């Protein structure tokens, strides 16, 4: 038998080798990442959520606490429901929810205690001694002011009561609704122009979201949470 030359053998093997090679990397779409969120990502943004609620819940509001797994699961559901697939938008929403709820400890207003209003900063329960923060109640874990609670409830076909506190009760008893207000607010109350700027992943776009849509001030604490969220979700600036 005539021996097969090395060149001929290599020629015969090329199709096999080519099929075994990995597909070329086409580049990551910085404007879409799907809707999945992990507990590890939540912990990277809000370290306090790594602890169980049995150990960290406020004794005056023990049922309001949520851990990282609960937060991740229900935030992901909200992103799926409202089709928030931009990593930059997801980072903005999660960072705001984490900040406003004291890392998912609260879902009701504590200071000054407005009936029917979503969670707000409690100066006696601030993480890391952050007792000088100015927290805005509009967008928190479960929702914001009573007026926006009513709009949110209507969107879910939840009966709105003349008693704002009763409407809030209905929203927070369901974890999907409780965590869903951030994505709802972004997709229904923010202008297309602001969302477009936010999706670019830049700090300037995030600042517009905070000042023009959430209508509050950019603070160092807000920025710190946003930066952690950007890193955890792998946001890239376009």
Tell me if 12 is assigned to some domain: no
| pTM of the predicted protein model | 0.75
Tell me if 70 is assigned to some domain: yes
Tell me if 9 is assigned to some domain: no
- The confidence band for 145, taking pLDDT boundaries of 50, 70 and 90, is confident
- The confidence band for 152, taking pLDDT boundaries of 50, 70 and 90, is confident
Tell me if 17 is assigned to some domain: no
| CATH number of 90's domain | 1.10.530
Range of the domain at 61: 30-233
Residue 110 has pLDDT above 70, yes or no: no
**Between 123 and 17, where is the model more confident?**
17
Tell me if 25 is assigned to some domain: no
Tell me if 238 is assigned to some domain: no
Tell me if 21 is assigned to some domain: no
**Between 115 and 91, where is the model more confident?**
91
Compute the mean pLDDT over every residue in the chain, rounded to the nearest whole number: 78
Structure confidence by residue, pLDDT tens digits, 49-63: 999 999 999 999 899
Q: Using N-to-C axis directions, what is the helix angle for 146-155 and 164-172, rounded to 10°? A: 50
Structurally, the chain folds into a number of domains equal to 1
Under DSSP, is residue 138 helix (H, G, I), strand (E, B) or coil? coil
Residue 211 falls in which region: left (phi positive, over 0), alpha (psi -120 to 50) or beta: alpha
- Mean pLDDT is lowest, of 141-145, 148-152, 185-189, 220-224, for 141-145
Tokens matching residue 213: 């849509």
Tokens 């590890």 belong to 40
**Between 31 and 134, where is the model more confident?**
31
* Contact between 87 and 201 (Cβ < 8 Å): yes
| Cα dihedral 188→194→197→198 (10° resolution) | -50
Tell me if 95 is assigned to some domain: yes
């Amino acid at each position: 038998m005539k021996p097969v030359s090395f060149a001929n053998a290599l020629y015969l093997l090329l199709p096999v080798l080519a099929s075994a090679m990995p597909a070329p990397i086409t580049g990551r779409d910085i404007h879409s990442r799907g809707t999945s969120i992990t507990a590890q990502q939540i912990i990277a943004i809000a370290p306090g959520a790594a602890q169980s609620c049995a150990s960290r819940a406020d004794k005056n509001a023990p049922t309001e606490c949520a851990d990282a797994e609960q937060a991740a699961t229900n935030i992901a559901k909200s992103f799926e429901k409202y089709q928030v697939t931009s990593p930059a938008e997801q980072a903005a929403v999660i960072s705001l929810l984490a900040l406003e709820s004291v890392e998912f400890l609260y879902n009701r207003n504590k200071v000054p205690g407005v009936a029917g209003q979503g969670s707000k900063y409690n100066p006696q329960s601030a993480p890391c001694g952050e007792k000088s923060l100015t927290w805005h109640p509009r967008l928190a874990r479960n929702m914001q002011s009573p007026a926006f609670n009513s709009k949110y409830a209507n969107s879910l076909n939840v009966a709105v009561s003349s008693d704002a506190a009763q409407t809030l009760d209905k929203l927070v008893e369901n974890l999907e609704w409780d965590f869903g207000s951030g994505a709802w607010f972004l997709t229904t109350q923010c202008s297309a122009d602001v969302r477009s700027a936010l999706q670019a992943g830049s700090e300037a776009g995030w600042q517009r979201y905070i000042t023009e849509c959430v209508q509050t001030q950019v603070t160092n604490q807000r920025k710190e949470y946003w930066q952690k969220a950007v890193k955890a979700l792998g946001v890239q600036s376009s």
